[in-house]
């Protein structure tokens, strides 16, 4: 094996090791589990995009308002509320428990979405 081949092989090994560390971490039981994800919901043209998402406990859901007017992301049952999200602003929450939550914008009730938390 030449030096160039050895260097390329080392680069591949380092890349694979980095990917493994980034996407999986050991939990207290010694088993690997997936790291939490951030899910982006864009607000554009009076819509939540995407309007339905599935997440896991520990994931972060972030709403980014690209409209020129303010909006909210508010659970139908009012368990959570973003308050006002101004133009080009964002708001996020970390998912703590299993929910299957419909939400809407208080100022524009026709804007609706759904966050489903998987086990």
Q: Kindly list the domain boundaries of the chain, sorted by start residue.
A: 3-33, 36-117
Residue 114 to residue 104: CA distance in whole angstroms? 9
Which pTM value belongs to this model? 0.70
Q: Is residue 77 pLDDT above 70, yes or no?
A: yes
> Which residues make Cβ contacts (< 8 Å) with residue 89, sequence separation at least 6?
64, 65
Residue 61 to residue 38: CA distance in whole angstroms? 6
Q: How many helices (H) and strands (E) does the chain have?
A: 1, 10
Written as six digits, the tokens of 85 are 């999200």
Model pLDDT for residues 42-69, shown as the tens digit of each residue = 999 999 999 999 999 999 999 999 999 9
What class does CATH assign to 36-117? Answer: mainly beta
- Mean pLDDT over the full length of the chain: 83
């Amino acid at each position: 094996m030449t030096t160039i081949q050895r260097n390329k092989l080392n680069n591949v090994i380092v890349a694979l090791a980095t990917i493994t560390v980034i996407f999986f971490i050991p939990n207290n039981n010694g088993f690997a589990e997936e790291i939490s994800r951030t899910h982006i919901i864009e607000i554009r043209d009076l819509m939540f995009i995407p309007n339905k998402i599935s997440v896991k406990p520990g994931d972060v859901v972030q709403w980014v308002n690209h409209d020129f007017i303010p909006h909210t992301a508010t659970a139908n049952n009012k368990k959570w509320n973003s308050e006002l999200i101004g133009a080009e602003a964002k708001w996020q929450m970390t998912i703590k428990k299993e929910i299957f939550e419909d939400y809407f914008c208080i100022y524009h009730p026709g804007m609706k979405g759904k966050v489903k938390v998987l086990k």
